[in-house]
Amino acid sequence: MSYKSLIQSGIVLAIILILLAIYFLFFKKSEKLIKINEAKIDNNIDNKILELKYNAVDAEGNSYIIESNAGKVSDKEKNVLILKKVKGIIKIQNSEDIIILSDFANYNKATLDTYFYDNVRLSFDGHSIDSNELFMNYIDKNINIRNNVRYKGLNNKLYADIVEIDLVTKFSKIYMLDKQKKVKVELKQNGSN
């Protein structure tokens, strides 16, 4: 092999290695590991998925598990699953687990964003929030709860239009869409109103 051929082969090999490095650093999503633990696809019923369970873990060790009795792939977006009888479990480091239940949800397998709707209940550490809609952005670790929001804690109740929760800092914003209306709060002290 001549010296010129050896140099050309080395340059080609270096270009391939650089392209592979760029692919793995910038295009391959290594920040989250997503695996399908259980899923049965029933091809006889319009691509219906039965007993679905996804588990995602990010680089900080936080995890998001979503389970559903049944679902199907959206006709409009191949990464979106339309789920029925849904349970979401959010596990943030140094925090209590957050459980979300709903009749339906749209789950994006690529971004992990989940839109829960119809009979939504979020519960954590003795607190519960019921509503008609809840949107969770897993990457940003925030939740937006809206449409008939009812909070129930140990000694109080709250009614609002929107509740926004940062899952990491636990900072919450509670407000009404109509600035003329006020958030309604019922406090119980010593077991009485």
pLDDT tens digits along 28-58: 544 444 444 444 444 444 567 788 898 888 8
Query: Mean pLDDT across the stretch 60-77?
Result: 89
**pLDDT tens, residue by residue, 93-105:** 888 899 999 999 9
| Residue-by-residue DSSP string for 1-37 | --HHHHHHHHHHHHHHHHHHHHIIIIIS--SEEEEEE
End-to-end Cα separation, the chain, in angstroms: 92
Confidence of residue 23 (pLDDT cuts 50, 70, 90): low
- Specify the pLDDT at position 104: 96
CA–CA dist 143, 101 (Å, integer): 14
Cβ distance 168 to 92 under 8 Å? Answer: yes
Per-residue pLDDT at 27 exceeds 80: no
* Residue 164: both structure tokens together: 């926004």
- Specify the pLDDT at position 21: 66
What are the residues facing 38 on neighbouring strands? 53
| Between 22 and 90, residue with greater pLDDT | 90
Mean pLDDT, rounded, of the chain: 82
| Between 154 and 173, residue with greater pLDDT | 173
Range of lowest pLDDT (39-43, 149-153, 177-181): 39-43
- Specify the pLDDT at position 103: 96
Distances in whole angstroms, Cα of residue 53 to Cα of each of 6, 26, 65, 121: 52, 28, 7, 19
Q: What are the backbone angles phi and psi of residue 25, rounded to the nearest 5°?
A: -80, -40
Most distant pair of Cα atoms in the chain: their distance: 94
Per-residue pLDDT at 26 exceeds 60: no
- Specify the pLDDT at position 78: 87
- Specify the pLDDT at position 153: 85
> Which of 22-36, 88-102, 175-189 has maximum average pLDDT?
88-102
